[in-house]
Structure 1
Amino acid sequence: MASEKPGDIGHGSAVESTVVDMFSSDEEVVLSHNTSSLPPGYFTSTYFLGTMAASGFAIAGGVGGFALAAPILGIINADIGPDPNYVWISLVYTLTLAIGQTLVGRLSDLFGRRWFFISGNILALIGCIICAVATNIPMVIGGTTLIGLAASTQLSFTFVVGELVPMEYRFMANAFIYVWSIPFSGLGPLVAYAFVLHTKAGWRWCYYLMIIVNGLGALCWYFFYHPPTFYMKNRTTTRWEMVKNFDFVGFILFSGGLLIFLMGLSWGGGVYPWNSAHVITTLVVGFVACVAFVLWETMANPKEPLMPMHLFKDIGWDATIVLISLGASVYYAFSIIFPQMVFGLYTEDKAYGSALSCIVGASIVMGQIVGGLLSKWIGKQKWQLVVSTTAFTGLLGGVACATTDNKDTVIGLLIVGCFFVGWVESIGLAMSGIVIKDQSEIGTAVGIAGTVRSAVSTVASTIYVAILTNCLGATIPAQVPPALINAGLPASSVASFIEAMTTGSFEGIKGITPQITEIGVAAYKSASAVAYRTVFLSTIAFSGVALVLSFFCPNVDDKMTSMVATMLQKGENGEIVGAVEEKTRHAHVEDV
């Protein structure tokens, strides 16, 4: 493969020839490229601004395609089910996203990005249409599969935006994109329940909204996003040669192995028991395939490896991607468990409960935005990560103080703790593309980071759900029956009462009275609180490792330069955007 340089473009005008010469061979020359060599109208051109808008619609679509549906999966299942397989709606999104991010990053590094991102948004559009008109759960599962695959491109905004702006503004550019996720990642439960409670179409409006978002995104990608084409990136290699040299063995081992392994994890304790053949077989086969993939990439030395192993020789990069993965795992604990705790301990009102459930997501998004805006100004990113990780480790671990009576304390700890999780996420994800030596591999580096993040989060989520299930299975039988019997409920009615706690209706239970109901509900909530506290304590195991790793993350102050890794083209003719617009403006002024 020909050497692939940041900003490599085709031949054309004098401006283009100058830039091509600058990127011809010498790595030092490439790194010295800065905004002064771009046309004055580059960053205000319709192509650049349109691409930023496309990236904003992308994160909104990638997050919203599942974040809006996730809080109301039970409602969806009740409406077009019931179907016990509705749990697959969340599973297929997680599985496809985890695998897809590395594939999108690497393949778009090699073959060019434009059609990956156009196709991704179109795929999301189709998936949302299928879900919006679904008449049964299998249709929603199928649509969500497409949405998850599409999210692999949509949530790859970090390297799309990062390579188009000067290095010194990458943190701030990401902050701008995170703003677009506020209605979905930040306020998803509130928006979803608002549709359910206040629209005739109910939950389907979650997908109607995403159809609009993805449709606008697809138009923006098509009309404005023109990065270097394959031939601009590879002057001496044809597409067919690249295909022949591609790492298909690694592709099969990685995709198949990770998919099967994560599927086994997701099945365990939910769809199938942990000791079932389904779970054990998938875990073993998936793990063996993943090990085989690493050995293949390390020893076979494919010409165009799916996952270049030299990236992992950088300890700073390794520490950064694992850190953001562990931070995300802590986030998943609270995003999964806290909404259950809200409706289990604090309220039965859907509107108020959905608003409380937004605390985790909204606080993280605020942290992402503020962290991105201030990171360069504060400097010393390593110490920002250390301080932020220390803060969320202590604050979120402190949520283990939760009881039925200290809601305000829990909310306060959550808001500040999740804010710092978002800060770590914002800085760390941007750094995964900044610290690498060769910016032509930014898609691969950030894609791997996304895959590791999703895989670790899946493992963590499985652990949290298992802990909660096991603890509830111990605390409720230990505390609720004695309280009910002491209050006067016949022992034969205890099982019926516990079952009624999931439905909210205590009618028909022999011997029940309002006073017994009040005592039983209080005991049930107290037992549940113990289980929730155990889950929150378990997050310290993940955040503690993250804290250690934060000390191995690098500072990137020395990389905060005006270097731009990739330039947008005006169409596919190799002309840098901004040049023509600038000439037109000057001509207009002269005519006047």
Structure 2
Amino acid sequence: MAPHTDEDLRQVRSLDAEDVKGRDFTIDRNDMPKGYFFSPKFIGSMFAIGANLGSGTGAFALIAPILSFVNEDIGPDANLTWVAIAYLLASSIGFPFVGRLTDIFGRRWFFIFGGMLATVGSIVCATAPNINAMIAGEVILGLAASGQILYGAPISELVPMKHRFWAQGYVVCWTIPTSSLAAVVAYAFVFQTKVGWRGVFYFLIALNVAITIALFLFYRPPSFHMKHGDNRKTQYLKHFDFVGAFLFVAGLLLFIMGISWGGVLHPWKSAAVIAPIIIGFFLLVAFALWEGLAPLQEPLVPLHLFKVRGFVISVLMWSLGASVYYANAILWPSMVNTLYASGHGVMWGGWASCLANSGITLGELLVPVGTLFKNKHWQIRSVFFIGSAFVVSMASCTPHTPTQAMALIFFGSFFIGYNEIANSTVITLTVDDQREIGTANGIASSVRNCVSTICSTVFTTVLANRLAESIPAKVPPALTAAGLPASSVAPFITALSSGSATAFNTVQGLTPTIQAIGVRAYQEANSDAFRTVYLTTLAFSGIGMLLSIFYPNIDHLLTNAVSVQLHNKGADDHADVYDEEKKIEN
């Protein structure tokens, strides 16, 4: 090979300066240092990334089942729904920024800061004197979760591409106590400890401290200087897509807020709902046009990613699968409490409510087993079809079929869970340039949250509308026919909706027999409403079924290539970057 000149070296540095993505660190597994995958830095990083996901999901999943107890303790407050909305908004907005910025500047300090932020958010929630303080804490936790839940990039780039399904399956294990068994864990804190609901956040404080320490000690992926040599961070900040960032944040914020408010905080026909949705939608359209037409050096969302069929279909099927998941998450606990929990203890309801999330997790854990077989695209098609069929079959359940309902919800969730991890892994594999894996994951996660919010809103709206029809149609006639005075019907329904056994004592003319008849009619009315919502899931799962027909085979992408290698503590970043240049100079 001819010797390289100074001009050759200048060209190398010039190309690096022009390349936003920086140096490519891809290496074959067989060329990596012996014992690398058993080294403290690798094992410690895997612990930190997995625990980070568990913490990020638990920041909301652990508190959601017991929000009523929180409201009783530090409320009541009409803004209670903002606890959920704040977390969702903060994480949805943060995903693309974390993905894009960590691709450019390196992930280490972003993730360490995220662990510190999650610790602060947990402390704010643990010490919250009122609901507004809880909302503030969930905003902080949501921002931290935009890095914690964005596990696809850091975990995938550390392992050979053919083992990414296994890596993602491992990470899911960390969500068992914070998502799959979240209701049981949360109920245990409330009913079996002295600290009550605040114990959830004490647990998260300890977990986040451990994560932050592990990230600091072990997680050392390529830094900014390793990626870009002697270029300065200000060079990249100067060309960052600030206009696109504004359009995206404002558009998504208004759009999700409008959808989340509809039918909950404000009527759907009110300007407070319609205006944010319309303005947010047009801002997002303007964002897409800006990203596609403006001459940007560093777009927030590189649109060339959407030219890859596998990426687009896997993102959409991941999002649509999540819509079915959210149907289970929203509807199933309500079904358990309304139709099946009567006569059982409090913890029975918690365990039964866990069936949906437990099925999801089991399906996610078994995805790596599927990689032992070829034709992954047929696996994904099959599980989506089967899972959707099980979920829509929930429409056949009644107050008299608890066993059938529990079996259907578990197996439906199982297959949808398989779809979840399979597609989230395929997203990382279909990125043509693995230096954009964080950007791709951030975009995908943001799309998933947006689609899930829309779907969740549709499900809750349909449920509320059907209940408004079915309860008046079934409960009052049953009560008056049983002998309850007409003037006592409204107090009876109010007492029933409160969930308090003592509330029935104030209902005039109520006897145990009449109460049993009224409760049964109320359950039948709820059953009719749930049936309609589960049938509604077909509108979304049907789109996923059609998309799955065009799912590409990705078997050829499962290679020994490792996108990123961790470096040792104290290593000279600049020296590592210039290894190749030194060879040229010599």
Q: Please give the TM-score of this superposition, normalised by the length of structure 2.
A: 0.93
C-alpha separation in 1, matches of 2:552 and 2:201: 41
Matched AA of 1:383? W
- Kindly indicate whether residue 112 of structure 2 is the aligned counterpart of residue 118 of structure 1: yes
Structure 1 partner of 2:49: 55
C-alpha separation in 2, matches of 1:393 and 1:516: 39
Deviation at 1:502, TM superposition (A): 1.6
- Say what the alpha-carbon RMSD is for the aligned residues: 1.4
Matched AA of 2:372? W
Structure 1 partner of 2:32: 38
Q: Is the 8 A contact 1:389 1:424 kept in 2?
A: yes
Question: Could you say if the C-alpha distance between residues 209 and 534 of structure 1 is closer, same or farther in structure 2, counting changes exceeding 3 Å?
Answer: same
Structure 2 partner of 1:73: 67
- Kindly indicate whether residue 340 of structure 2 is the aligned counterpart of residue 346 of structure 1: yes
For residue 238 of structure 1, the aligned residue among 232, 235, 251 is 232
Structure 1 partner of 2:490: 495
| 1:509-535 C-alpha deviation (Å, 9 max, x unpaired) | 122111111111100000110001111
- Kindly indicate whether residue 383 of structure 2 is the aligned counterpart of residue 388 of structure 1: yes
Structure 2 partner of 1:586: none
Structure 1 partner of 2:545: 547
Matched AA of 2:248? F
Question: Could you say if the C-alpha distance between residues 444 and 51 of structure 1 is closer, same or farther in structure 2, counting changes exceeding 3 Å?
Answer: same
C-alpha separation in 1, matches of 2:506 and 2:251: 51
| 1:45-85 C-alpha deviation (Å, 9 max, x unpaired) | 11111000001110111011111100000110011111110
Q: Is the 8 A contact 1:4 1:440 kept in 2?
A: no
- Kindly indicate whether residue 364 of structure 2 is the aligned counterpart of residue 368 of structure 1: yes
2:92 alignment partner, SS class: helix
Matched AA of 1:520? G
- Kindly indicate whether residue 136 of structure 2 is the aligned counterpart of residue 142 of structure 1: yes
1:253 alignment partner, SS class: helix
For residue 523 of structure 2, the aligned residue among 522, 525, 532 is 525
1:506 alignment partner, SS class: helix
C-alpha separation in 2, matches of 1:445 and 1:130: 32
Q: Bigger CA drift: 431-440 or 33-42?
A: 33-42
C-alpha separation in 1, matches of 2:215 and 2:190: 31
Matched AA of 2:393? G
C-alpha separation in 2, matches of 1:574 and 1:6: 18
- Kindly indicate whether residue 210 of structure 2 is the aligned counterpart of residue 216 of structure 1: yes
Matched AA of 2:194? K
1:232 alignment partner, SS class: helix
Matched AA of 1:465? T
> For 1:190-339, what aligned pairs fall within 5 Å after superposition?
190-235=184-229, 237-339=231-333
Structure 2 partner of 1:428: 423
C-alpha separation in 2, matches of 1:46 and 1:127: 29
C-alpha separation in 2, matches of 1:507 and 1:569: 68
| 1:538-589 C-alpha deviation (Å, 9 max, x unpaired) | 111111111111122222111111100011111362589xxxxxxxxxxxxx
- Kindly indicate whether residue 460 of structure 2 is the aligned counterpart of residue 465 of structure 1: yes
| 1:355-397 C-alpha deviation (Å, 9 max, x unpaired) | 00000111101111111x2132122111011100110111111
- Kindly indicate whether residue 102 of structure 2 is the aligned counterpart of residue 104 of structure 1: no
For residue 173 of structure 1, the aligned residue among 148, 167, 171 is 167
C-alpha separation in 1, matches of 2:231 and 2:375: 41
| 1:170-199 C-alpha deviation (Å, 9 max, x unpaired) | 000111111111011110000000110011
Deviation at 1:35, TM superposition (A): 1.2
Deviation at 1:266, TM superposition (A): 0.3
For residue 556 of structure 2, the aligned residue among 558, 561, 569 is 558
Structure 2 partner of 1:93: 87
> For 1:568-587, what aligned pairs fall within 5 Å after superposition?
568-571=566-569, 573-574=571-572
C-alpha separation in 2, matches of 1:69 and 1:542: 28
Q: Is the 8 A contact 1:158 1:429 kept in 2?
A: yes
C-alpha separation in 2, matches of 1:148 and 1:355: 26
Deviation at 1:337, TM superposition (A): 1.1
C-alpha separation in 2, matches of 1:359 and 1:4: 45
For residue 3 of structure 1, the aligned residue among 3, 8, 19 is 19
Question: Could you say if the C-alpha distance between residues 275 and 572 of structure 1 is closer, same or farther in structure 2, counting changes exceeding 3 Å?
Answer: farther
Structure 2 partner of 1:12: none
| 1:480-501 C-alpha deviation (Å, 9 max, x unpaired) | 1111111111111111111110
Q: Is the 8 A contact 2:21 2:436 kept in 1?
A: no
Aligned length: 553
Deviation at 1:301, TM superposition (A): 2.5
Deviation at 1:38, TM superposition (A): 1.2
- Kindly indicate whether residue 372 of structure 2 is the aligned counterpart of residue 356 of structure 1: no
Matched AA of 1:3? D
- Kindly indicate whether residue 492 of structure 2 is the aligned counterpart of residue 516 of structure 1: no
Q: Bigger CA drift: 230-239 or 516-525?
A: 230-239
C-alpha separation in 2, matches of 1:103 and 1:381: 30
1:285 alignment partner, SS class: helix
Q: Is the 8 A contact 2:384 2:545 kept in 1?
A: yes
Deviation at 1:5, TM superposition (A): 6.7
C-alpha separation in 1, matches of 2:45 and 2:491: 58
Q: Kindly, what percent of the aligned residue pairs are identical? A: 44
Q: Is the 8 A contact 1:376 1:557 kept in 2?
A: no
